[in-house]
């Protein structure tokens, strides 16, 4: 199983920026969406947010698009990793 860092490195997210990781696997809907959006507001614009979830956060994607974030999701054996950044 690839490490979290190697999974993020396989995405198009900028590799030269700081990263923040949140784990929302134990939260029921809509808490992962809420937690992710609240975290993004608090982060510096150059920080890449890495969300670990137990499912593809399909309802998060349109909200990220509306707010101008780029994102990429990788499904792994035991979780789903969504990487979010400002272009």
The C-alpha atoms of residue 15 and residue 56 are separated, in whole angstroms, by 23
Strand order in the sheet with 80-86: 19-23, 48-53, 80-86, 69-75
Q: Exposed, middle or buried, 57 (CB in 10 Å: 0-12/13-18/19+)?
A: buried
What local confidence, expressed as pLDDT, does residue 45 receive? 95
Please give the pLDDT value at position 43: 98
Alpha carbon distance 37, 7 (integer Å):
22
Stated pTM of the model? 0.96
Query: Tokens 């670990």 appear where?
Result: 52
Which pLDDT score, from 0 to 100, does residue 58 have? 97
Domain count, the chain: 1
| Residue range 9-68, pLDDT digits in tens | 999 999 999 999 999 999 999 999 999 999 999 999 999 999 999 999 999 999 999 999
CATH number of the domain that residue 16 is part of:
3.30.110.40
Tell me which residue range forms the domain holding 29: 4-86
Per-residue pLDDT, 6: 96
């Amino acid at each position: 199983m690839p490490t979290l860092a190697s999974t993020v490195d396989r995405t198009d997210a900028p590799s030269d920026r700081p990263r923040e990781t949140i784990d929302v696997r134990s939260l029921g809907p809509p808490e992962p969406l809420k937690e992710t959006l609240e975290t993004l507001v608090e982060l510096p614009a150059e920080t890449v947010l890495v969300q670990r979830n137990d499912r593809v956060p399909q309802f998060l994607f349109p909200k990220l698009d509306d707010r101008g974030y780029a994102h990429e999701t990788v499904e792994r054996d035991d979780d789903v990793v969504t990487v979010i950044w400002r272009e």
